[in-house]
Amino acid sequence: MTTMTAEYRALTLYSEPPAGCIVFPITREGFEPHLRLGEIAIVDKSDKDLVNGELYVVGVRSPMVPDGVAKHLAQVWAREYRGLDGEPFTGWWWGDLNREGRLRLSEGPMLAEGLARMIVGRVIGLYAPAVEGPKRLAGAAS
């Protein structure tokens, strides 16, 4: 299923990943203000429906990683095109959230079915583990 929307969702803070979700470290810039370098995204592996403008983890075959699938954070977006037969179709792209004025990775257009096969899951929030307050050492002066 695909959904066309231009609005962004606020990301929820999670102190631990919900069941069925994974954590994904943000290792490069290009996704501000939603995600910043060094933060950790929560990814729902059961949510693979394409929604225009949303952030996902996309898996691409690669011999350079141990499991054979390089995983990338990406925004997906759709554009309307006309095929060689003159018929309209929706082409999907994936790449950085902040593409303006930057040379960044993007791939497309592709059909929704092709991109959907690459989706690992949708970004639903940020991992923000609960931090306990300062602890005093036994015998320390108050």
φ, ψ at 130 (rounded to 5°) = -65, 135
Per-residue pLDDT for 49 more than 90? yes
Say what the pTM is: 0.78
Per-residue pLDDT for 19 more than 90? yes
Q: Can you read off the two tokens belonging to residue 130? A: 């609960």
| pLDDT, tens digit (0-9, with 9 covering 90-100), for 78-129 | 999 998 999 999 999 888 776 665 545 567 788 899 999 999 999 999 998 8
For residues 24-30, average pLDDT: 86
128 by Cβ neighbours in 10 Å (0-12 / 13-18 / 19+) ranks as middle
